[in-house]
């Protein structure tokens, strides 16, 4: 009950801040380029990744091009690091950290003042064999390349972009997903 009240208070405070800002409805005017740099908080949601990590942190750069006043094309890349968790509560041993390099193309559609829906697809390149982290030795598939599909929602103004999304990584024989929160600062080019 206490957690529900805290969540509701946080949501109402965020809504008041967002409603109280007087900014244009779009973050990318038609035919304009915009560049943003963001910090990513990531939570593994399934598959083998959830077995070896509880949390991830990343950094991304995004280039946006406005095709209309309420629609932008995006190109995003960066690095995600998933920190290894303890193998067993009785031992100090941890799984090794696991990294991904995402490269995604997408679209942002503003549906209300400052609020958008987004979708991205692309590839993620694993920097370590995730199976080796579990078994201690490679399992034959090595560092894999995954297909990324990522729907999201967010809020953006002329400088800030805050977005939440789900990312599904699929391919080979180990599929997994993450829930991500991105906070970014951007500027026009």
Give dist(CA 78, CA 39) in Å, integer.
10
Transcribe 101-168 into DSSP letters.
EEEEEEEEEEEETTEEEEEEEEEEEESS-HHHHHHSS--SS-S-EEEEEEEEEEEE-SSEEEEEEEEE
Looking at residue 74, what is its pLDDT? 96
pLDDT for 47 equals 79
**pLDDT higher than 70, residue 183:** yes
Token representation of residue 15: 């809504």
- pLDDT surpassing 80 at residue 131: no
Q: What is the CATH number of domain 26-188?
A: 2.40.160.20
Residue-level length of the chain: 189
* pLDDT tens column, 140-178: 456 789 999 999 999 999 899 999 999 999 987 778 999
Computed over every residue of the chain, the mean pLDDT equals 82
Average pLDDT over residues 64-76: 94
Q: Where are the domains of the chain?
A: 26-188
User: Binning pLDDT at 50, 70 and 90, where does residue 19 land?
Assistant: very low
Confidence at residue 26, expressed as pLDDT on a 0 to 100 scale: 52
165-166-167 Cα angle (round to 5): 115
pLDDT of residue 69: 86
Name the phi and psi angles at 74, rounded to 5: -130, 155
């Amino acid at each position: 009950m206490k957690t529900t009240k805290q969540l509701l208070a946080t949501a109402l405070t965020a809504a008041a801040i967002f409603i109280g800002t007087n900014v244009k409805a779009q973050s990318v005017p038609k035919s304009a380029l915009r560049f943003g740099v963001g910090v990513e908080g990531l939570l593994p949601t399934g598959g083998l990744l959830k077995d070896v990590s509880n949390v991830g942190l990343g950094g991304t750069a995004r280039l946006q091009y406005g095709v209309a006043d309420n629609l932008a094309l995006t190109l995003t890349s960066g690095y995600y690091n998933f920190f290894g968790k303890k193998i067993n509560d009785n031992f100090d041993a941890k799984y090794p950290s696991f990294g991904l390099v995402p490269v995604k193309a997408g679209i942002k559609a503003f549906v209300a003042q400052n609020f958008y829906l987004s979708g991205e697809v692309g590839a993620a390149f694993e920097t370590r064999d995730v199976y080796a982290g579990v078994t201690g030795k490679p399992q034959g598939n090595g560092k894999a390349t995954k297909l990324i599909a990522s729907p999201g929602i967010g809020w953006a103004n002329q400088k800030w972009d805050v977005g939440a999304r789900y990312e599904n990584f699929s391919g080979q024989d180990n599929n997994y997903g993450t829930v991500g929160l991105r906070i970014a600062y951007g500027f026009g080019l």
